[in-house]
Amino acid sequence: MSALLEVRDLKKYFPVRAGLFSRVTGWVRAVDGISFTIGAGETLGLVGESGCGKTTAGRSILRLIEPTSGQVLYQGTDLLTLSPAEMRRRRRDLQIIFQDPYSSLNPRMTVGAIVGEGLLIHGIGSRAEREEIVRETLRKVGLDPAYINRYPHEFSGGQRQRIGVARALALNPRFIVCDEPVSALDVSVQSQVVNLLRELQEKYGIAYLFISHDLSVVKYLSDRVAVMYLGQIVETASSEEVYARPLHPYTQALLSAVPVPDPDRRQARILLPGDVPSPLHPPSGCRFHPRCPSFIKGLCDERPPAMIDYDGHRAACHAVEQKRRP
Amino acid sequence: MTGAGGEVLLDIRGLRTHFFTDEGVVRAVDGVSLPVRPGQIVGVVGESGCGKSVTALSILRLVEPPGRIVEGQILFEGRDLRTLPERELRALRGHRISMIFQEPMTSLNPVFTVGDQIAEAIRLHLGASPAEARERTIEMLRRVRIPSPESRVDAYPHQMSGGMRQRVMIAMALSCGPRLLIADEPTTALDVTIQAQILELMKELQRESGMSVLLITHDLAVVAETADQVAVMYASKVVEQASVRELFGAPLHPYTQGLMQARPSLKTAKEERLRMIPGAVPNPLFFPPGCKFHPRCPLAVDSCRSVEPVLRELRPGHWVACDVVHG
C-alpha cells in the first residue's frame, strides 16, 4: 500500500512560562519525534494513556495546532510548508471527528448548517446543491434528512456523534483523524458509531488515524497499531501482531491491564509501579525505564533505544533488542 | 430475593428515589431491591442515567433536593437507614459505611493536606488523639502503597497524580475499618494501567478486612474481574441479577446480552459486525410504558408494550425481569 500520509519526526513542544515576564522556563515535549505512514483506505490505531501525546499528535498533523518541527507528507506535499490559504484548500481532504459530541457542535447552528459549513467555506455548489449534499450525507450516517433544521441539543449522544461524522464526511475526505470518537458514548451506543465508521471506510475508502485509549476498540478497527508512551511511539506493527505478540514491555503491561469480561479468566497482571512521569521532565534514556520490568541498568537509563524493525514489527526497547539480536 | 442464603449486611428493599423537577418527576430509582452479604463484592452495572449512582447515594441519604427517597427500606445490620436519626447516621458515615467517588480531586479538600483529611475521620469516629491519628494515617497510606507515606502525609491533593489521589481516597474510606465500602465508578477517571493497580488493591484490602463492597460501574469487564454478585440496571430498575459466573456464563436479559455483545473484546474477530442496540437510553421524564427496554429490544412482543415485567428467578439464584426469555 503506498502511503497517503507520511509523518516524519513530528514534534510539538509547549512552552512553560513562569514569573513576572512570563519567561519560558521549560518545554512540555508532548509529541517528541514520532513517525508513521498511513495508506489509502487504511486505519492506523494510535493508542496510549492520558498525557501520552496522542491527541496532540492528531491535531498537529492537521495543523489545528502548529507543530514545532517535522514533516507531514500528504500525497507527497509537506503540509507544514503550506501557506494558510493552501492549507485551507487541503483541509477538504483531511477531516477530524472529536471526542465529545456535546461540546464539539455549535449549539446555535442547525444540523444543516453544521454539516454544510465546510461546503460553504470551500465554495462548493449552489445553495440548493449544498442542501442536497447535506441531506445525502445525513443519509450516509444513518440520520433522517428531515432533521436538517434541528439543533444539536435535540439529539442523543450517539446521534450527535453521527452529526460529527457527517460534518467530517460532507467534503468527501480521503483521511479522517478520529480522536476518541466513541469514548464519551454509552456502551449500547458505541457500537452503532464503530460500525458506522467501518461501513463508511469500506464504501468510500477513507483512511483513519484512530486515536483511543480503548485497546479493544482499537484492535477491532485498526489494520495497524502504534503505541505511544510519553510523546514517543514505542511499538508499531499490524494489529494482529501487536495484540498477539507484543514486544515492548509497556505494550505488554497495557494489554494485560485491560479488564476481560470473563470471570473465569481473572488473569495474572503485569502491574506497573508508579505513574506516568511528567512530559516536562521525561526520564533519561528510555522514557519507560523507571516503571519497566525488563529494565537493564546502565543501558536503559542512559541511552534512548532505537526503533528497530523485526520483520515488519517495530519496537524501541533495549531488552527486546538484546533478546532478538542474532 | 432477600432471605435466600444466610446473613445480609445491607438489604435494599423496594427503593424508590425520585427527583421532583420543574419539568416533572424523574424516577431515578424506581423499585430497586439488592442484598449485600458480608464479605461480598456486589457489582451494580449500567449506563449513564440508569440510577446506579442515585442508588448508591440513597444508602447514606446523600441525595440532595429536589431528589428524595419516596419509598423502600435500607436495612444495614438490621437498622433502617432511611428512618435513622441524622445524628446516628452521621456516626455511621465514614465509619461503618464509607464511600469513594469517581473523581478524587473533587472529593478531597484542596486546602488541607491529605493527612489532615484522613486523620479527621479517625479522630472523629475512633476518638484517637492527634498523634495516634497521624500514626494510623501513615499506616493507612502505607497499606494503599503510597511511596514514602511519612512525607506524603503532609502533601496537598494537587501535588499528587490521579492514581495517587484515588489511593488516598481509599485510605480515607478504610481508615475506620468499615463493614461496607460503596465505590462509585472508582476507576473510571483513571488510565487502564492505573485502574488495574487500584482494582487489585481494592480486592486485596477487601480480602484482608472481610468488608463488603458495593461497586458501581458502567464497565461489565470491571465487574467480571472484581465482583462476586452482579445486578444489571436499566432505566431505574434492576433487570438482571445473579452471581458473576452465572451472569457472564448465561446472560438472559436481552439488554444484558446486547451490552455484552456491543463491545468488542480483545478476542472479537475483525470480520464480525458488532451487535448494535438500536436507539438510545430513554429519558427518565418520558419512560416508555410496559418494559422500559421494549423500544430497543429485539425480542419484544405485544405484551412488553403494556406489562412491566418483575424479577423472576429463572435459574437458581438468577433473577431476570423479562417475560419473554426462559431459563
- Rounded Cα distance, A278 and A24, in Å: 17
Q: How confident is the model at residue A81 (pLDDT cuts 50, 70, 90)?
A: very high
Reading phi first (left if > 0) and then psi (alpha if -120 to 50, else beta), residue A82 is in beta
- Rounded Cα distance, A171 and A164, in Å: 13
Give me the DSSP letters along A64-95. SS--SEEEEEETTEEGGGS-HHHHHHHTTTEE
User: What confidence score (pLDDT) does residue B5 get?
Assistant: 52
| Interface test mutation site (partner B, options A49, A188, A200, A238, max chain B beta carbons within 10 A) | A188
ipTM of the complex: 0.85
Alpha-carbon dihedral sign for residues B241, B247, B250, B251: positive
Q: Do B264 and A216 touch (CB under 8 A)?
A: yes
pLDDT > 60? residue A1: no
Q: Do A263 and B225 touch (CB under 8 A)?
A: yes
User: What confidence score (pLDDT) does residue A325 get?
Assistant: 74
Q: Do A271 and B200 touch (CB under 8 A)?
A: yes
* A100 Cβ under 8 Å from any chain B Cβ: no
| Interface test mutation site (partner B, options A52, A156, A190, A191, max chain B beta carbons within 10 A) | A191
Q: How many residues does chain B have?
A: 327
Q: Do A260 and B245 touch (CB under 8 A)?
A: no
* A266 Cβ under 8 Å from any chain B Cβ: yes
C-alpha cell at B204: 486485596
pLDDT > 60? residue A312: yes
Question: In this predicted structure, which of B151-160, B229-238, B243-252 has the lowest mean pLDDT?
Answer: B151-160
Q: How confident is the model at residue B6 (pLDDT cuts 50, 70, 90)?
A: low
Q: Do A261 and B195 touch (CB under 8 A)?
A: no
Q: What are the pLDDT digits (tens) for B171-186?
A: 999 999 999 999 999 9
Q: Which one has a higher pLDDT value, B154 or B281?
A: B154
User: What confidence score (pLDDT) does residue B322 get?
Assistant: 97
pTM as predicted: 0.89
Torsion angle defined by CA atoms of residues B216, B218, B222 and B228, in that order, rounded to the nearest 10 degrees = 50
In angstroms, the separation between the Cα of residue B218 and the nearest Cα of chain A is: 8
Q: What are the pLDDT digits (tens) for B291-300?
A: 999 999 999 9
Question: In this predicted structure, which of A278-282, B155-159, B301-305 has the lowest mean pLDDT?
Answer: A278-282
User: What confidence score (pLDDT) does residue B3 get?
Assistant: 42
* A158 Cβ under 8 Å from any chain B Cβ: yes
Q: Which residues of A touch B217 (CB under 8 A)?
A: none
**What residue of A is the nearest CA neighbor of B220?**
A261
Q: Where are the beta strands (DSSP E) in chain A?
A: 3-18, 23-39, 43-47, 69-74, 77-78, 94-97, 175-179, 207-212, 224-229, 232-238, 308-310, 313-315
Q: Which of A188, A194, A253 sits opposite B193 (nearest CB)?
A: A253
In angstroms, the separation between the Cα of residue A124 and the nearest Cα of chain B is: 33
CB A231 within 8 A of CB A238: no
